Structure 1
């Protein structure tokens, strides 16, 4: 599990102007992020706009990413949803070649009880072809995976190896860290609070901003994991405004605009998402000038 210590990046899916997946751009994105020194990639999570891709497009993105990566870093596939049986079918059809784990978001929209969330993940754990990382992001799903449910799952299923926590609740973080099994990884799902979360014992981050500035975020995370917070804090503070701008008009519109500025990929997103406004684009450009020297 040491492969999931450090910085993972929730990778964007680049599109062409007509909305088709840009596979040439995908290769550039993979090389850019890995070149920044990150530890692993997460493919087709929320930032990858997975909700707007067809089943075949997902398969093509997964397989091409594995080809472009060529074994350089571990890969995690985002396979989740609010229809448990559909998630199981997707896992059954998933080609695991080149992949090391599955990130599965808590069921959204349905608002299940904690028992429903537990049973959903139980079914996933019992059928998953790879280790599973839980993903708690109540701001998107409409429901919380409680600390109690997280710990219950971690204790009951050894192939549930980690949780990506994006609840923003330090009370939740405290209880997970206090009670989790020793080898169960607690991973930040929010760039801005990664530093304090690592101070609590977090294993690192699955980052959005790392799509654009992989070196800066991974350098900070490595310093934190070494306990060198004095050196990490200036990097943390330098990225605060940039991070805010990444989410000012929705994710991944902000980070795709930054990547366009850097010449990595285009800023096209699929509806219902739209590109950032010209005003926000100008602010992103200005912040990049401060960060990229």
Structure 2
């Protein structure tokens, strides 16, 4: 059972499962830059109903630009929206990235109190010059956060957001073995070889018995950070992805994962999985180049909400925005999403 939002009392069990997760954007009102909670609620429910999990206050959520109180507010609002929509079993993962180990742990406790089921932590890039090649310090960070967090913690490996710090597969496996409150890794380094090496250890049938987790609901998952290698990662016992593209096309991303897993047992499904992977991989590369502002623009075009990032992050300019929308890779994805969501073309 997961403890969350109830002062340590056991609440409903929301297991962490293999699949697709979307790092949910934080939406802001155009003049004040205050949180746009109605758009956030709408999006959380839309994504969850498509069978995609939720990660709040990550890179896509502009966590670096959010206060502690805003992060807690997003958790509370998301939980209420999910419960009101009958999605009581959908877990919430919340980002706890911060400058110091102390603040990261503080955020983990605040996230648990607000109702988060799991946390995801990234190493601070501010002192990357001192940390990047200090294996002992990097391991100590995740060990301490894992030990002191009241909820299971996912390792977030994203060199682009941590000053180039790039955890290697050996260190991640060591952490999985030594830290029973660590519940997985997100690899936004895009390194398929690294994913393969980690999965070879943690997905082995003996791992869970030799190295049981502190929380039985939280196995150690190996998740990609993009949707462009869902199919190959499934065939090396990966567990899915936390991917920004799932905000734009949640049905397509979820279907690709479903087909990838099914094709392990039924090879006749492989050609269709490959077709979807091709469409999604091309779109992922195209949309990722436009970053957070591009994703928000596409949400605005498709669903009527999105808005601008919080300053100093600039909005996408009109020319590149229109080019992104008109790009054949984007349009192919939009058509696929509409087909799979029952909305037609």
Under a length normalisation based on structure 2, what TM-score does the superposition of the two structures give? 0.79
Cα separation, 1, equivalents of 2:319 and 2:231: 29
User: Partner residue of 1:167?
Assistant: 189
CA displacement at 1:33 relative to structure 2: 0.8
CA displacement at 1:66 relative to structure 2: 1.2
Larger displacement relative to structure 2 (233-242 or 143-152):
233-242
Cα separation, 2, equivalents of 1:257 and 1:248: 13
CA displacement at 1:189 relative to structure 2: 1.1
Rg (Cα) greater in structure: 2
The answer to whether the Cα contact below 8 Å between 1:80 and 1:107 also exists between their aligned partners in 2 is: yes
Structure 1: any 5+ residue segments left out of the alignment? none
Larger displacement relative to structure 2 (126-135 or 178-187):
178-187
Q: How big is the alpha-carbon RMSD for the aligned residues of Structure 1 and Structure 2?
A: 1.9
User: Partner residue of 1:222?
Assistant: 258
Larger displacement relative to structure 2 (6-15 or 91-100):
91-100
The answer to whether the Cα contact below 8 Å between 2:229 and 2:277 also exists between their aligned partners in 1 is: no
User: Partner residue of 1:25?
Assistant: 39
| Alpha-carbon displacement from aligned partner over 1:105-150 (angstroms, at most 9, x marks no partner) | 1332322111111100111111111111111111221111111111
| Alpha-carbon displacement from aligned partner over 1:36-76 (angstroms, at most 9, x marks no partner) | 222x2111111000011112211211111111111241110
Structure 2: any 5+ residue segments left out of the alignment? 1-13, 209-218, 264-268, 339-344
- Counterparts of 1:1-293 in structure 2 under 5 Å? 3-18=16-31, 19-38=33-52, 40-70=53-83, 71-96=88-113, 98-111=115-128, 112=131, 113-141=134-162, 142-180=164-202, 181-182=207-208, 183-227=219-263, 228-250=269-291, 252-286=292-326, 287-288=330-331, 289-291=334-336, 292=338, 293=345
CA displacement at 1:2 relative to structure 2: 5.8
RCO (CA 8 Å, sep 6+): is it higher in 1 or 2? 1
CA displacement at 1:208 relative to structure 2: 0.5
**How many aligned positions are there?**
291
User: Partner residue of 2:342?
Assistant: none
The answer to whether the Cα contact below 8 Å between 1:192 and 1:240 also exists between their aligned partners in 2 is: yes
| Alpha-carbon displacement from aligned partner over 1:82-102 (angstroms, at most 9, x marks no partner) | 311111222233344542211
CA displacement at 1:261 relative to structure 2: 0.5
* Counterpart secondary structure, 1:88: helix
Cα separation, 2, equivalents of 1:6 and 1:178: 18
Segments of 4+ moved more than 6 angstroms: none
Cα separation, 2, equivalents of 1:277 and 1:200: 40
Larger displacement relative to structure 2 (79-88 or 167-176):
167-176
Under a length normalisation based on structure 1, what TM-score does the superposition of the two structures give? 0.92
Cα separation, 1, equivalents of 2:126 and 2:261: 35
Distance 1:278 1:174, change over 3 A: same
